[in-house]
Structure 1
């Protein structure tokens, strides 16, 4: 594998991780403010999912990068 292929695979992995975090944030917001799971929304569960999504989108790719550089 060339360095370009490795860099491309890493970029795609980071992109998927961040997109998952953003999707989790959007899902949490939808659960908190809409009637998806129960009438009137479920603010507590939605907030937990939204915060988890933000943390995942911001920090998970940094953690993966750090662990992949150690190898």
Structure 2
């Protein structure tokens, strides 16, 4: 693999991780809005908002870590 290929791969992986974090934050905001806001029904809807918030939290904090660990290059011998 050439240095240009490695750089392109690293850049695309970095962008993927950032996109996951950004969309996770958006999902968390939507979950909070459903949970505590009057968007779907007056007084909020915690039974729907809390799981959506949890999915966004997982996508923001856990999933990028899992992918980064999987993508980490093997130790040089």
Which of the five TM-score ranges fits, normalised by the shorter chain? 0.7 to 0.9
The count of corresponding residues between Structure 1 and Structure 2 is 71
Query: Rg: which structure is higher?
Result: 2
Tell me which residue corresponds to 1:7: 10
Which of the two has greater helix per residue?
A: 1
Gaps of 5+ in 1: none
> 1:22, CA displacement in angstroms?
0.7
Distance 2:8 2:70 in 1: 19
* TM-score of the pair, normalised by structure 2: 0.78
**Root mean square deviation, CA, Å:** 1.9
* TM-score of the pair, normalised by structure 1: 0.83
Residue 62 (structure 2) pairs with residue 59 (structure 1)? yes
Residue 25 (structure 2) pairs with residue 22 (structure 1)? yes
Q: Deviations over 1:6-29 (max 9, x none)?
A: 111011000011111111110000
Residue 46 (structure 2) pairs with residue 43 (structure 1)? yes
Pick which of 1-10 and 11-20 moved more.
1-10
Distance 1:20 1:64 in 2: 15
